[in-house]
Amino acid sequence: MRVRMAPSPTGPLHIGTARTSLYNYLTARHAGGTYVLRIEDTDAARGSVEFERDIIDNLHWLGISWDEGPQVAGGEDVGPFAPYRQSARMELYASEADRLLDAGAAYRCWCTPEELEAVRREQEAARQPPRYDRRCLNLTDTDRAALEAAGRPSVIRFKVEPETIRFDDLVRGEVEFDNALLGDFVIVRNDGLPLYHFAVVVDDEAMEISDVIRGEDHLSNTPKHIALIRALGYREPRFGHIPLILNADRTKMSKRKSQMAMSAYREEGYLPEALVNFLAFLGWSPGTEEEIFTLDELAARFEIGKVHHGGAVFDKDRLDHLNGVYIRALTEEQLALRLREWIPEAVGDDDLLRMVPLIKERLVRLADVDALIGFAWEPDAVVAAWYGPQLLAPKKGSLADARRALERARATLAELDDADFSADVLEQRCREAADRAGMKAGDFFSPIRVAVTGRIISPPLFASLELLGRERSLARIDDALGKLREAAA
Ligand code: GLU
């Protein structure tokens, strides 16, 4: 089995292409086959090496690898069928186009855009389906020679025979198309560049691709490809079209939207293993309740024939859920390592490791770390600027209650030396202080929480105090008391 992924580097890697790549990867690994990456870069105007880099880097980041093709953007091709980029394969397309011309299966067309437009309008007026009227197929040899001599640019059109095309789709089962509706489509532009339908067919044959697995948006292209394959005398690969990805409201997800770019998910701190799992389930399921799989486990279980026909709804909540599950499955050291790039360099590795247990249970995306525990590295003045005095008041209490709690808390904390400044001791002492003050523990703790973390919701309070240490905790309580005094004045 030989499968391929054939991205056009005209945009960053998006969710749909990543899933197609994953399904190809899993199919190849499941069968012990070969996975080919081919760069379809014939659209020089829209394509770029930056997009190629984005695609390749993000695939690597997901853990998807391939056996043939460039391993890095713009890099050297690996494999027996090199080159693997279409821009370097032009001679092959030209000679295959010549074969079609010689066999009468394709013909040159000199029609101008204006002429084509006029035909289209006539057909529309007559309520006929729009398709090329074969004007240039029916030219006499003299006409043709005259046009050639005049040096008018020409495209090459494939002569579509009216026939019913049937194929057994790996995902959808038997599919049938009437090619009589297609019209003779262009396979080579007037500047000599091959168009997608043609290049893809030529390359799949040359690279001995046995299974073409791609998005359902290509389903309607497949009868064109099969007609070309037959005319060129190629072997017909198996085709499998995987379902569209839908928004929660079941509308089609658009490629253009930035929410589709893989890099955006990476920047928000989704783990690659969570994304892989999520993508695998966008259109497939193992038929059990299990939800956590490594890439290897997916490869063992995945079968392209079990992919669903219906659209796959993109459920962001599920992705968040999965990401949390993967985060919690990491050891503290592993999580610290993953978090490193979201934490200022000034925070030492040991300090980072001390923060991890405080946030591990709540973290949904790695980028959330800043909102959760940024108070630990932000200067006191920055944290103080996050809240106003009103936030210090306990839920049903007053600013005076906040002040009472903070004054007592300050005295309690000040009594402890650094060695005793641990979560357990702090909790015990603060509970006693709350009792003595005649306040409910929650009402007593709430102003302390806001004072030291700047927020009403935070990681566990006493562990947060321990993390900050005695001096900084006291300084922040002083800042809060200062705000309360100011508010009272
Ligand atoms: N270059 C095409 C695309 O990006 C490949 C489609 C195919 O797999 O045939 O959509």
Q: Where are the domains of the chain?
A: 2-86+245-313, 89-242, 330-376, 380-488
Mutate to test the pocket of ligand 1, among 14, 25, 40, 51 (most ligand atoms within 8 A of CB): 40
pLDDT at 257: 59
Written as one letter, the residue type at 337 is: L
12 close to ligand 1 (CB < 6 Angstrom):
no
Tokens (6 digits) for 238: 């198996």
Which ligand 1 atom sits closest to the C-alpha of 217? 10
Residue 202 CB–ligand 1 contact under 6 Å: no
Cα(384) to centroid of ligand 1, in Å? 54
Predicted local distance difference test score (pLDDT) of residue 129 = 87
Give residue 399's identity as a one-letter amino acid code: L
Atom of ligand 1 minimally distant from the CA of 225: 9
Ligand 1 lined by 211 (C-beta under 6 Å): no
* 360 in active site: no
CA of 213 to the centre of ligand 1 (A): 10
Pick the catalytic residue: 255, 257, 395, 483?
255
Please list the pLDDT of the chain residue by residue as tens digits (489 residues): 999 999 999 999 999 999 999 999 999 999 999 999 999 999 888 889 999 999 999 999 999 999 999 999 988 999 999 999 999 999 999 999 999 999 999 999 999 999 999 999 999 999 988 899 999 999 999 999 999 999 999 999 999 999 999 999 999 999 999 998 899 999 999 999 999 999 999 999 999 999 999 999 999 999 999 999 999 999 999 999 999 999 888 888 876 655 689 999 999 999 999 999 999 999 999 988 888 899 999 999 999 999 999 999 999 999 999 999 999 999 999 999 999 999 999 999 999 999 999 999 999 999 999 999 999 999 999 999 999 999 999 998 999 999 999 999 999 999 999 999 999 999 999 999 999 999 999 999 999 999 999 999 999 999 999 999 999 999 999 999 999 999 988
Residue 199, ligand 1, Cβ within 6 A = no
Q: How far is the CA of 37 from the centre of ligand 1 (A)?
A: 11
Superfamily of domain 2-86+245-313: HUPs (3.40.50.620)
Q: Which two tokens stand for residue 92?
A: 């092959």
Ligand 1 pocket member 397 (CB < 6 A): no
Instruction: State whether the beta carbon of 37 lies less than 6 angstroms from ligand 1.
Output: no
CATH top-level class of 380-488 = mainly alpha
Report CA(8)–ligand 1 centroid distance (Å): 7
- Protein residue with its CA nearest to atom 5 in ligand 1: 6
**Token couple for 316:** 């962001």
Considering only CA atoms, which residue is closest to atom 6 of ligand 1? Answer: 6
Which CATH number among 3.40.50.150, 3.40.50.1370, 3.40.50.300, 3.40.50.620 corresponds to the domain 89-242? 3.40.50.620
Residue 45 confidence (pLDDT): 82
Q: For ligand 1, what atom is nearest to the CA of residue 212? A: 8
252 φ, ψ (degrees, to nearest 5): -70, 135
Residue 204 Cα: closest atom of ligand 1: 9
Q: What is the dihedral of CA 224, 230, 232, 237, to 10 degrees?
A: 80
Ligand 1 atom with the smallest distance to the CA of 4 is 8
The CA 394 to ligand 1 mean position distance, Å, reads 59
CA-wise closest residue to 92 among 77, 78, 81, 80 = 81
- What is the pLDDT, as a whole number, of residue 256? 62
Q: Are strands 77-78 and 106-109 parallel, antiparallel or unpaired?
A: unpaired
Q: Residue 423 has what pLDDT?
A: 97
For residue 196, report the distance from its CA to the centre of ligand 1, in Å. 8
Q: What is the pLDDT of residue 227?
A: 98
> Could you tell me the distance, in angstroms and rounded to a whole number, from the CA of residue 156 to the centre of ligand 1?
21
Give per-residue pLDDT as tens, 380-422. Answer: 999 999 999 999 999 989 999 999 999 999 999 999 999 999 9
Those residues with Cβ within 8 angstroms of residue 239's Cβ, 6 or more apart along the chain or in another chain: 167, 169, 170, 211, 212, 213, 222
Q: What is the dihedral of CA 146, 147, 151, 156, to 10 degrees?
A: -140
7 lines ligand 1 (CB under 6 A): yes
Report the pLDDT value the prediction gives residue 287, as an integer from 0 to 100: 87
Closest CA to 195 of 97, 102, 83: 97
214 Cβ closer than 6 Å to some ligand 1 atom: yes
Kindly state if the Cβ of 9 falls inside 6 Å of ligand 1: no
With 0-12 / 13-18 / 19 or more C-beta atoms within 10 angstroms meaning exposed / middle / buried, residue 112 is exposed
- Which atom of ligand 1 lies at the shortest distance from residue 200's CA? 9
What's the 214 CA to ligand 1 centre distance in angstroms?
7
